[in-house]
Amino acid sequence: MKKICGVAAVGLALAVAAGCRQPAEANMADLVLVNGKVWTGEASRPWAEAVAVRGGTIVDVGTTVALKKLAAGAKVVDLGGSLVLPGFIDSHTHFLEGGFALRRIQLRDARSREEFTARIAAKAKELGPGRWILNGDWDHQQFSPVELPRRDWIDAVTPDNPVCVCRLDEHMILANSLALKLAGVTRDTPAPPGGEILKDPATGEPTGILKDTAMDLVYAQVPEPTLDERLEAAETAVRHAAQNGVTSVCEMADARSFETFRELERRGRLTTRVSVYIPITEVDVLARLKIKPPLGDAYLQLAGLKGFVDGSLGSSTAYFFEPYADDPKTSGLLYGQMFPPGVMERRVLEADRAGLQLAVHAIGDRAISLLLDMVEKAAAVNGPRDRRWRVEHAQHQRPADIVRFGRLGLAASVQPYHAIDDGRWAESKIGPERVKTTYPFESLRRAGAVLAFGSDWTVAPLSPILGIYAAATRRTLDGKNPGGWVPSEKVSVEEAVRAYTVNGAWLQFAESAKGTIAPGKTADLVVLDRDIFAIPPEEIERASVRMTVFDGRIVYGND
Where do the domains of the chain lie, and which CATH numbers do they carry? 1-87+516-559 (2.30.40.10), 98-219 (3.10.310.70)
pLDDT at 4 over 80: no
How far is residue 319's CA from residue 330's CA, in Å, rounded to a whole number? 9
Contact 307, 359 (CB under 8 A): yes
- pLDDT tens column, 257-304: 999 999 999 999 999 999 999 999 999 888 887 877 778 999 999 999
3-state secondary structure at position 47: strand
CA angle centred on 86, ends 80 and 89, rounded to 5° = 135
When pLDDT is cut at 50, 70 and 90, the band that residue 6 belongs to is very low
Q: Which residue type does 69 have?
A: K
Interval 227-238: pLDDT, tens: 999 999 999 999
Instruction: Determine the distance from the C-alpha atom of residue 379 to the mean position of all C-alpha atoms in its chain, rounded to a whole number.
Output: 26
Q: Among the residues of 109-176, which ranges form H helices?
A: 113-127, 151-154
pLDDT-based confidence at 559, cuts 50/70/90? low
Model confidence pLDDT, tens digit, residues 9-52: 323 232 333 333 343 344 489 999 999 999 999 999 999 999 99
Q: What mean pLDDT is predicted for residues 3-8?
A: 30
Residues paired with 452 in a beta bridge: 413
What are phi and psi for residue 382, nearest 5 degrees? -100, -5
Q: What is the C-alpha separation between 361 and 307, in angstroms, rounded?
A: 6
Q: Do 138 and 170 form a contact (C-beta atoms < 8 A)?
A: no
pLDDT score, position 72 = 87
Cβ–Cβ < 8 Å for 119, 151: no
- Strand 37-39 relative to strand 83-86, pairing: parallel
Q: What percent of the chain clears pLDDT 90, i.e. is strictly above it?
A: 90
Whether 418 and 411 have beta carbons less than 8 Å apart is answered as no
- The overall average pLDDT reported for the chain is 93
10, 49, 118, 416, 449 from 153: Cα distances, Å: 60, 57, 10, 33, 45
Q: What distance in Å separates the CA atoms of residue 376 and residue 380, rounded to the nearest whole number?
A: 6
For residue range 154-194, list pLDDT tens digits in order. Answer: 999 999 999 999 998 889 999 999 999 999 999 999 999 99
300, burial (CB in 10 Å: exposed 0-12, middle 13-18, buried 19+): buried
Average pLDDT, integer, range 461-480:
98
Predicted pLDDT at 21: 38
pLDDT for position 3: 30
How many angstroms separate the CA atoms of 48 and 64, rounded? 9
